[in-house]
Amino acid sequence: MENYVSAMPLWAIILFIVSFLISLIPMANTAKQAALNAGMSNSKSRNIQLGILIFYILWLAYASILALKGVFTVNTLPPRVFLFTSIPLMIILFIIIGNTGLYKKLIHAASLESLIRIHVFRVVGIFFLLLYFNKLLPTNFAFSADMGDLITAIFAIPVARAVSQKKSWSIKAVYAWNIFGILDIVVLTIFAVIIALSDAKTGGNSIKEMGIFPFVWFPAFAPATILFLHSGVFRKLKQLRTRQV
């Protein structure tokens, strides 16, 4: 029976799982604080916080079950992991959640710097390099994925600080940082599809790790969530421009 669990060392798998789950906390905490800023009760704010954590844990569990069954290891175009996880999550976030009154209220109440700081969680992208060093990902894919995530995560801190200190150049910096973060995830997703196309023609499976447990969490979570969070920053910027008019 084929094994659909990563060939990474057990310590690395455990560290990834723990790190990934911890990375959900900034999103949940930011939403809770925004709810409090909007005048919601402590109990409702906590429910929003817990709702986000529970939703993502269940989503990752869903992706994990499919991965452990080997659903994503079959070469198809588009890749099954996109069809069953990335695209559905995109629909849930952008079409359903993004159009709710609650989401709009939270974005309105959240501070711009808090929406930027969330992206520090992208340091989890360091695991792309660990996969490369264990010869489980091709060089070009691993370094592209890792560098973009780390740059976005690292610069989130000074950009958020500049916003909070009301630096004259801070808004321009936010636009540049936000656009970079979006382009990074879009280009990487396109790159993954190109590699999948090549694998489908040759019968290879060079990014197999992205379809098995636990690293399936990257495609199941990252493209949709990261783009949604960046869109939230743009919504906030639009709101701030409207106030200044």
Q: How much of the chain, in percent, has pLDDT values that exceed 70? A: 98
Which distant-in-sequence residues (6+ apart) come within 8 Å of 154 by Cβ?
Answer: 123
On the question of pLDDT at 19 being above 50, the answer is yes
- Does a structural domain hold residue 78? yes
Note the pTM of the prediction, 2 decimals: 0.95
Task: Tell me the mean pLDDT in the region 92-96.
Answer: 98
pLDDT at residue 38 in the model = 97
Q: How far apart are the C-alpha atoms of 7 and 60, rounded to whole Å?
A: 19
- Does a structural domain hold residue 5? no
- Does a structural domain hold residue 1? no
How sure is the predictor about 245, in pLDDT bands with cuts at 50, 70 and 90? Answer: low
The structural domain count of the chain equals 1
- Does a structural domain hold residue 4? no
Site of tokens 């280009």:
187
- Does a structural domain hold residue 187? yes
Which distant-in-sequence residues (6+ apart) come within 8 Å of 137 by Cβ?
Answer: 128, 131, 206, 207, 209
Site of tokens 């989503």:
59
How sure is the predictor about 205, in pLDDT bands with cuts at 50, 70 and 90? Answer: confident
DSSP reduced 3-state for 215: coil
- Does a structural domain hold residue 2? no
- Does a structural domain hold residue 177? yes
- Does a structural domain hold residue 106? yes
Say if CB 145 and CB 128 are below 8 A apart.
Answer: yes
How sure is the predictor about 140, in pLDDT bands with cuts at 50, 70 and 90? Answer: confident
| Mean model confidence pLDDT for the chain | 94
Closest CA to 132 of 142, 123, 144, 140: 142
Domain span at 236: 10-244
* 85: Cα separation from own chain's centroid: 13
On the question of pLDDT at 103 being above 60, the answer is yes
DSSP reduced 3-state for 213: strand
